[in-house]
Structure 1
Amino acid sequence: MTAGTFHIGGERAVGRLGFGAMHLRPESPAERESCVAVARRAVELGVTLIDTAHLYGWGANEELLAEALYPYPQELLVATKVGVAPPADGREADLCGRPEFLREQVEEGLRRLRVDRLELLQLHRVDPKVPLADQVGTLAELRAEGKIVHIGLSEVTVAQLEEARGIVEVASVQNRYNVLDREYEDVLEACEAAGIAFLPWRPVNPAASLGAREVAAVAAEAGAAPAQVALAWLLARSPVVLPIPGTTRIAHLEQNVAAADLRLSDEQYARLDRLAAARPAST
């Protein structure tokens, strides 16, 4: 891959095109074997940043990655997220940023991923029922205890990011963002100004799956898939952008990784840049 590298927290170098493991949730032995193969192939292709979360199968996704990749290659960073409570006692899954709960999920993540410390631990969502200072402060305490190296946030506003940065160094932000959905443009700009990694989730959809005419047209001109065009645009958008597309198919994975080598013309990038103005923001 030639998309270049980014240093998480100014220290940990990772390739800018990562892999989102969210979809690797097998329901049968055959599917599990296939998911393990996808994770291993990602690493074979040079991916050095893999994103998971406690929410993805309530820890099962973390366990699958450990099964597939442990002992982890030295260059591989597996990032996980905490802060969502599983369904229980007739209630649905919900945000939970209580300090004792965050600590419990971090301990579970360490055990499931088979590591002594989490290199990048992200708060999956800000729990509005708990002061942000308590949530971020708990993660800062865990870092001081040596259980976390870098701390990140997910789905935050500029104001929340700035509040968190007043408490602890923030290494990454993971917000929804793609060529057709730029609701968090201001958050990306804040990350760029501060040198914070911006991991766009849903980096391809809906840009590719909805078949946006301009994306499809550029893809046809470039001899590429629409998803590759969407990823190439993200990589060109800012040096702090680290897309984490996910898939359950090796062929699709290989196609996504190949997007790191796709170069569009200035005129094509300009056409893609203009798409957001013609499309209402997602809600």
Structure 2
Amino acid sequence: MVAKIPKPEANSIDVLNLVLGERVWHREFYGRIKQDLTARYQLYDDQKGCPSGMPPLVLRDYVDSDEDAIGRKKSLIGLYEPDEGKYPYNELEKLRKKNKLLACPVCGELGRPRTLDHCLPKTTYPEFAINLLNLVPACDWCQGEKLADFQNDVGTRSFLHPYYDDINRPLYRIRLEEPYLTPIISLEILDHLPKELQNLVASHLDGITFWERFKEYFESSYQNIIRMASETRAGGKVTVTTIIDSAYSLEIGKGVNSWDAVVYRSLLEDAEVMDFLETGELSEFP
């Protein structure tokens, strides 16, 4: 389930100022960079996390030597691992452990995501290491697949951003090819989406190896639907379409792109598959 989620409750710039106010080491560096850091945080929000036209800060501009620049990069990255009781320890813990999510918003893996993904990697953008808007709860697998990837050939984001992108609408569907009892199943992005969004969804799904990871789930889900259709027809009280439509109504409450919602919606929109489930030979599943 690729899903849009609420931004963090805490204001990123306020948190940044609290963090900088606690600095004891390298106070001169943080004093020099504070104004530009604040401006960059605002730029990040204005550009919705897109790196185009937002190259990393040149840390050498704020220090006296190349060696110092290397050290201050480590210092900025180190802000992401504060001691308990220091800023932004509580804010990061809330995003990790109290995000109230039931699935990874990057891929849909069920279970509360307990790691944070830097949308713009902190190794490239150390200035955004603790930018709350740059930190998205994600499952371990998605974080491992993305690593430091973030930008496509034209300089824009190669991944959807759960805080910013308009993705609370159907994005993709599964397609079934005959024989419908044991079909070939594929995933396709909906062609009525804006072209820019289509391309972004495609690069996102490819970047997290979505279909490779979850193809078996969709195949198993469809086989369960065949069993359900067989039992429904044997009972003779309601139609298969009614059962699937009811199941879809329940699943869409979890998210329009939750995996099962995608499955049920895809079936309901495919007249040939629905005809098979209503009238086709299902004898292998008595």
**Which TM-score tier does this pair reach, normalised by the shorter chain?**
under 0.3
Higher helix share: 2
Higher strand share: 1
Larger Rg: 2
TM-score, with normalisation over the residues of structure 2? 0.25
